[in-house]
Amino acid sequence: MLEAFEFLSGANESTELVVELTFEERQKSRHRATTRSGEALGWFIERGVVLADGDILVCKGGEKVKVVAALETVSNVKTEDALALTRAAYHLGNRHVPLQITNGELRYQHDHVLDDMVRGLGLKVESGSYPFHPESGAYSHGHSHGHSHAHEH
């Protein structure tokens, strides 16, 4: 099994090894997955790190594995009405829902109750399969080059 104890943030290097991970999996500091080519992979990184699309897991043997955000069922809210979008973001944030925010659009993990709430605010909600890249939060310290050297796992 490939074992990674560090990662490179936003490296966007080209590698032969790729692992597709959901947002939930990218939040785990210790996890096992399988690369696209079928190789077992385990990582042991600093708690609190959320791996992002394009990050590179650096394995003990020098191998590099590129992280790709997997397609997930998410809800999309699109509107040109900035006030309506801000209200929706406020109410979703009040429920501690991870949100991906772009110009004129909100995206969150699909939940029919949340969809109904957003529709009740007068917005249209569509669900589909997309990569999910939520905001890291106001109090996060970014995520640059990470290390974890607890090799006793």
| C-alpha 126 chain-centroid distance | 20
| pLDDT at 137 (0 to 100) | 66
pLDDT tens profile 95-120: 999 999 999 999 999 999 999 999 99
Instruction: Give the start-to-end residue ranges of the domains of the chain.
Output: 2-70+140-147, 71-131
- What is this structure's pTM? 0.80
In three-state form (DSSP H/G/I as H, E/B as E, the rest C), the secondary structure along the chain is CEEEEEEECCCCCCCCEEEEECHHHHCCCEEEEECCCCCEEEEECCCCCCCCCCCEEEECCCCEEEEEECEEEEEEEECCCHHHHHHHHHHHHHCCCCCEEECCEEEEECCHHHHHHHHHCCCCEEEEEEECCCCCCCCCCCCCCEECCCCCC
**Domain 2-70+140-147 belongs to what topology?**
HSP40/DNAj peptide-binding domain (2.60.260)
Assign a CATH topology to domain 71-131: Alpha-Beta Plaits (3.30.70)
- Which of the residue ranges 26-30, 33-37, 73-77, 139-143 would you say has the lowest mean pLDDT? 139-143
Closest CA to 81 of 35, 130, 124, 28: 124
Please write the tens of the pLDDT for every residue from 43-67: 999 998 999 999 999 999 999 999 9
- Determine the average pLDDT of the residues in 61-75: 96
48 Rama class: left (phi>0) / alpha (psi -120 to 50) / beta: left
> Are 99 and 111 in contact, with CB atoms under 8 Å apart?
no
